[in-house]
Amino acid sequence: MSLSSYYEKVDGIERCIDDELPFEIPESWEWCRLGTILQKLTDGTHSTPKYTARGIPFISVKDISSGKISFERTKFISKTEHELLASRCDPHRDDILLTKVGTTGIPVLVDTDRPFSIFVSVAQLRFSTELLDKFFLIYLLKSPLVQTQCRENTKGVGNKNWVMRDIANTLICIPPLAEQKRIQASLANVLKSI
């Protein structure tokens, strides 16, 4: 194994991934697949629920495509149906939602404690805050590195789909946590002045 090459183990077989790496990274950073660093990666229900006039908000792409969660035009489901759906997909504060059908690749930080459920068009990403800074991860998901992979792997005509397998296989580079915090703080300062 060469020190200048990168390898990954898939199904017990080690293989070189140098041809997939778009650029060199500092020695303290690591290349990895998005799915390998998440505590949870799932999407919302694949069945259309029974809507109610009031109840628990049911979020789809249209409710997060602005880059923030909007409860203004959401549909609603019953508390019972929400509890059933939450047994598989249960977004919490500081999780990230990611659009995966139609308008794909938009990451949104969950910044509310309000309970809600999500449709199949939205993925839920949960991660360890000991490994990843939430704001750094948002910037990373918006970066050309990830957005290029999103475009290349979004399939279909009309209602395009970035499938969960391809989201999990998205190649990312991760610096140490302290550096993530410095990077996101610098980006936030630059973006604030624009």
Beta carbons within 10 angstroms of residue 95's beta carbon: 19
The encoded tokens of residue 166 equal 């391809």
pLDDT per residue over 53-68, tens digit each?
Answer: 999 999 999 999 999 9
User: Per DSSP, which regions of the chain are E strands?
Assistant: 7-10, 13-16, 30-33, 38-43, 51-52, 56-59, 75-77, 96-99, 107-109, 117-118, 122-127, 171-174
What is the 3-state composition of the chain as percent helix, strand, coil, each rounded to the nearest 5? Answer: 30, 25, 45
The topology under which CATH files domain 7-192 is Adenine-n6-DNA-methyltransferase TaqI; Chain A, domain 2 (3.90.220)
pLDDT for res 173: 96
pLDDT for res 88: 93
Cα–Cα distance between 73 and 88 in angstroms, integer? 24
pTM score of the predicted model: 0.90
- Residue 163 identity (one-letter amino acid): V
